[in-house]
Structure 1
Amino acid sequence: MKSFNWREKFDLPPLFWLIALIALINSISFTIIIPLLYPYAKQFGLSDLQASLLTTAFALSQFFGTPILGKLSDRLGRKYILVFSLAGTVVANLLASVAGVAWLLYVARMLDGLTGGNTSVASAVISDITTPQQRPKAFGIFGATFRLGFVIGPVLSYFAQQMPTLPGVSSLGMSFIVSAAIAAFASLLTLFFLPETTSTQGEFKLSWDDFAFGKIAKSATRPQLGNLFILTFLSGSTFTIFTFAFQPFFLNVLNQDAKGLAMMFALVGILGFVSQVFALESLSKRFNLINIIAVSLLLRGVTFLLMPTFPTYGAFVIIMVLFGIVNSFPMPLIDTVLSLNSDTKEQGEVLGINSSYLSMSNAIGPVISGLLVSLNYTTPLWITGGLTILVAGFAFNLKSRFKCNKPAVVSN
């Protein structure tokens, strides 16, 4: 039996580990507010649908902001665009922590979304500093940092709420304060330690073409890459329908409490982190990347269908274990395929457009789920399970269009 080669597993440029650390800190800042956004909205007297629209406001804003930041990072360089993005999170969360009226909370979420292109810019940095052969490994570990954030963030959110409150800040608002402080640390780390990684920099010129959102829609018809953008949107939409519906199902159908819900988030986070770090690279060496994406989507859809089929806590835990293992594969692999099939000079823009499709799906999914939940708590799970299996079939049909096992880059 072949022994596990730790040196080979983590043989990546030192600069990659810095950007991975920055991404981890940023993901912790983001996931701190996930468990509290709904109850915080309730403090403002918002209905369930209005509370779900906070997620939509963030995602729509991110949809418009991310491709601009991605393109600007190609033109101006990655470093300062990344610092700008992180600083936007700092300001937005500070504003949310002291918001006294609901509309100000919406403004804070929109500001965070408009400046929330840090993941796509960080992905472009990884493309700058790694070889095509290293990218499946690099994007897998990079994606795992976000999963690890889902383990650490909710725990920090809990402790933040136990802290003494500041004037004008509620106990839930203290989590926004902690999140802002962590994002500020990530921005300083980027400013002082991350070198510029792209050599194609130009003077700052912002034109209407930078806001050409029609190009995002047109990109769906782009040869090869357009199919991946569509796959990102379909995968993201079905997933976000689940993420909204999952919580009331767990609390009301399975009769569990918020503490148990936090444990489920931690379980999924741990399994996602482990599978991305220790399984993704090995699978990518043995199988076509599109096949891995399709199989993981198929299994994800099956888990959605199994949840309402076996509505007991014990069965739910077992199903979530399977879900946590396979759920972490699609997005980092789609980013890898995009990177391998786009020109190096446009990778920031390409990854930014892909993130915009994901943001668009994040905006649509919660609204659809909120409407379906009004029927009953199981309907969204049945529907998103069937839709996810159809998306897996769409992914399978793409495998003949991409030679993902070879490191050669194909220019469009």
Structure 2
Amino acid sequence: MNVFDEFFWRGLINQTSDDENLRFHLKTPGRKMYCGFDPTARSLHIGNLVPLLALARFARAGHVAYALMGGATGLIGDPSGKDKERQMIDKETLFASADNIRKQVESLFTNLDCVENLRVVNNYDWTNSLSTIEFLRDVGKYFTVNYMMAKDSVKNRIGREDTGISFTEFSYMILQSYDYYYLSEHHDLTLQIGGSDQFGNITAGLELIRKKSGKECFALTFPLITTATGAKFGKSEKGAIYLDPEMTSPYAFYQYWMNADDRDVINYLRYFTLLDQSEIAALETELAERPHERAAQRRLAAETTTMIHGKAELENVQAVTEALFGKGDIKAVNAKTLGQALESAPGKGYATLGALPDLPGLLVDLELCSSKSQARKDIKAGGIYINNERLQDETYTPAITDFIGERILLVRKGKKNYGVVFLGE
């Protein structure tokens, strides 16, 4: 299948500069395309997965995918989709973020077995040496203010008298266009991809290339992803879902996809996995016939978690998930992953084993029981579990071997009320 057709059936094409000619262009292997990522945060988030996976789809189809780190454009600030000026970021912070993002991109392509067709570049490398005169004379001369003001990213800000747009952000379009021209000239790139809000910036680059070199190049943008409720995709109660495991744990990452609405999950399988049409169609049938089994959600969560965090981390997450539902040995799971899963549960740290109170006191400390007398009643009634095993001895004192990874003791009251004891804190 032509990769253009794959994008089409997946619903990943919002606009192109020329459907027919781009499709024909992509029939030849070895075409080069890029997408830019401004390192305004130290990690990408799942909203970036659409363009990231698009690059990977091209790479797997035999093309060469360029991920551009916006070391220069990130210092300026993209006005697209913003109703006010971005906060300026200092160079050291921006470059550190760019390095983190580079590693994330390389990790994804490695997990998808197409890293040999990935190139990572930074626009600071060719922009930093430009003098003001060169930039204005050799690049800015090809842009009219009239043309720039007609673009949505500028027009929407011009209409806001309270904020307007600075000359700095007004110039962002020219810098991004120069990136496309430079990559076209020096790396033979012929396609730039991006979100729907980037179409104006990308087509501005096409115009610059046409005027300066006359080459035929293309633009492709993706639709804005929203949930069935109309909410912005990629947000949870705690905020954005990041690819960095220190910012969003692999367990929380997995659970985000597991909690996908039935109305969204099939589209998400098209957008965010490499599963083919027949596999997704089978999952769609299964969803319609047995929605309670959540097979589509489980496959989606497994595919995305493996892509970002690897197979070993997926297995840790799945083992913890099963154990928390009473399936499998809770003491055999990865202690760090278990801690991530229980981070919202009441927790209490104790420096040593000797510092732990008796079991009724522990239940009170964890806010699972209102008093020691109530705790004793619950223990006697068989409603208290330690590491998923019922305990009816109120004199119980945990040993170091009871702690998962010698650090975590899982305490449960009833079926769903958890508390966590941390040793050494």
Q: Normalising by the residue count of structure 1, what TM-score does the alignment of the two structures yield?
A: 0.25
Larger RCO, structure (CA 8 Å, separation 6 or more): 1
Q: Normalising by the residue count of structure 2, what TM-score does the alignment of the two structures yield?
A: 0.24
Which structure's residues are more often strand, by fraction?
A: 2
Which structure's residues are more often helix, by fraction?
A: 1
Query: Is the radius of gyration larger for structure 1 or structure 2?
Result: 2
